[in-house]
Amino acid sequence: MKPTAKRRFGRVDLTVTAMGFGAGPIGNQGRPVAEEEAAALVKAAWDAGLRYFDTSPMYGHGLSEARIGAALRWYRRDDYVLCTKVGRLLKARPRREIDFAPWVDGLPFEMRFDYSYDGTLRSIEDSLQRLGLERIDVALIHDCDLATHGARHFRGRFEEAMADFTAARGVYERIGSPSVALALTREGSMHALRGDAFPARAAFEAAVRAARDAADSQALAPALIGREISGHRRLSRQG
């Protein structure tokens, strides 16, 4: 594999390098990483030709987003693809009251799960603020699985995450009329929204059916992928 080879990202209008930069470690995963070291790691990845960068509000309780945004800020925005995640919201809290494990010296925010429509929009807006950038290219639904929530709570979390999805046409174009997609599309800030965490049609259909029919499911939630997600103003639920 050539790390810098360009590949189409699924069937949306995104091109990424075969290898990306995972920004979990610069959120102080397991050990502190100095600001200079974090910036140098991102620069080394850029100089090596990588153009796909992945972060999350979870990584260092927002620290990873803050650092990756600062490191990428003065590169031309159309020259790279940036991915973050939804499913957790951060709220300021005294450091002494926060359990940061497995992160070390993260930002002073506690995390709580929220896969709802409003929570998703809030998460994207907050991420844009931490990143200090005008756009997120990809937003993935994060950790909506049995391993994270256990058998007792997984079903409810999965249904919450899938509440605005309905079955539609095509394997990778199966968006019926989810409110999030419609609201962002009306704003001109999202070009595509797809369920793409599944490698096969049957798995994705099973997940949608599980959420819609309240059937038991052990499938992972699909990825929520949005091109040019913008948070310039708050969007409220439509209809």
Whether the predicted pLDDT of 170 surpasses 60? no
* Mean predicted confidence (pLDDT) in 209-229: 37
pLDDT at 206: 47
* Mean predicted confidence (pLDDT) in 163-173: 37
Q: What pLDDT band is residue 126 in, cutting at 50, 70 and 90?
A: very high
* Mean predicted confidence (pLDDT) in 32-41: 97
Most trustworthy range by pLDDT among 60-69, 178-187, 225-234:
60-69
Share of residues in the chain with pLDDT > 70 (%): 68
pLDDT at 221: 33
For 172-187, how does the pLDDT look when each residue is reduced to its tens digit (9 = 90+)?
A: 232 222 334 333 433 4
pLDDT at 164: 54
| Domain parsing of the chain, residue ranges | 6-226
Residue 206 — φ and ψ, nearest 5°?
-65, -40
Please, what's the b/e burial string for 139-177 (b: 16 or more CB within 10 A of its CB; e: otherwise)? Answer: bbbbbbbbeebeeeebbebbbbbbbbbeeeeeebebbee
Class of the CATH-defined domain 6-226: alpha beta
Handedness of CA 183, 187, 192, 198 (dihedral sign): negative
**Nearest-angstrom CA–CA distance, 106 and 63:** 6
Which among 85, 230, 72 has a CA at the least distance from the CA of 144?
Answer: 85
Whether the predicted pLDDT of 63 surpasses 80? yes
Contact 136, 130 (CB under 8 A): no
Contact 111, 89 (CB under 8 A): yes
Contact 239, 179 (CB under 8 A): yes
Q: SS3 letters for 78-138?
A: HHCEEEEEECEEEEECCHHHCCCCCECCCCCEEEEECCCHHHHHHHHHHHHHHHCCCCECE
pLDDT at 75: 97
Whether the predicted pLDDT of 223 surpasses 80? no
* Mean predicted confidence (pLDDT) in 85-107: 95
**Nearest-angstrom CA–CA distance, 186 and 199:** 29
As annotated, the active-site residues are 54, 59, 85
Give how far the C-alpha of residue 147 lies from the chain's centroid of Cα atoms, to the nearest Å: 18
**Nearest-angstrom CA–CA distance, 6 and 17:** 5
Q: What pLDDT band is residue 161 in, cutting at 50, 70 and 90?
A: confident
Mean per-residue pLDDT over the chain, rounded: 74
**Nearest-angstrom CA–CA distance, 12 and 14:** 6
